[in-house]
Each structure stands twice: as structure tokens, then as C-alpha cells.
Amino acid sequence: MNRPLPPWSRWLALGAGAMDAATGAGLLLLPGWTLERMGITPPGAEALGFVRFVGVFVGAVGLSYLIAWRRGQERALRAVFDFTRVFRLGAGTFTGVMVFGADWPPAWLAVTFADLGLVVVQSVLLARSRDE
């Protein structure tokens, strides 16, 4: 039997979920405006459809956290912390590589640090709550 997650893990799910759900909605509905708020120059009009597509995925990840938070069940929180690590690891690594490869502006590092930071926090949470 696993040890319980700390009480603040629900707040982590709420914060991560709100961040991604809002960002996803912004990228879907107002992609240029949202990217500008992030300090990123929006692409040309022909590429905004792809930005909206990404927004759907970002928003879906955020909603998965919010569903787990709303349910308030330990099992749901563990599941969302576990499976979102894969998406966050991919997004965080990709944006970091693109910035350090000089293809994308440094403003994208906010995504890198947010995603990889959550990977670390979620991984530690899950590891510390597992019984040996």
C-alpha cells in the first residue's frame, strides 16, 4: 500500500491544471495575443492553425489535472501526476533544445522550466509516497 500524497499535492494539481487549461484556451481562441503575453512573437497567419492545434493538447493536459483535482481522490492524483510527466518531459525538452539550438527565442525557456520543473516535483512526490 502506498503512503498518502501530501495535502499540498491537490494544490499542485489545481495550479498546474489552471496554468495549462488557461494557456491552452488562449492558444486555441487567441493564439497571437497569448503568444505575445508569453513574450513570443506570433508566427504568420498561415501557422496560427497549428498553434491552435497545440492549444488543444495543452488545454487537455490542463483539464486532466483539473479533473483529478475535482475528484479529490488519491488514485486520480497519482494517475495524473504519473502520465502527464511524459507530455511535460517531451515539451520541456523540445523547447529547451529549440532555444539552445538558437532556433527559438529565450522566452520559450519559461515553458522549459515550467514543464521540467513539474516533471521533477511530480516524480519526487510519486517516489516518496511509494512503499518500498
The DSSP code sequence of 75-113 is HHHHHHHHHHHHHHHHHHHHHHHHHHTTSS-GGGHHHHH
Task: Please work out, in degrees rounded to the nearest 5, the angle formed at the alpha carbon of residue 69 by the alpha carbons of 110 and 12.
Answer: 35
Cell numbers that stand for 103 in this block:
532556433
130 — pLDDT class (breaks 50, 70, 90): confident
**Sign of the four-CA dihedral 71, 74, 69, 123:** negative
pLDDT reported for residue 74: 92
Residue 17 to residues 29, 56, 123, 129: CA-CA distances in angstroms?
A: 18, 14, 17, 21
Indicate the length of the chain as a whole number: 132
50-68 tens-digit pLDDT: 999 999 999 999 999 999 9
State how far the Cα of 21 lies from the Cα of 114, in Å rounded to an integer. 14
Domain ranges for the chain: 8-129
132 — pLDDT class (breaks 50, 70, 90): low
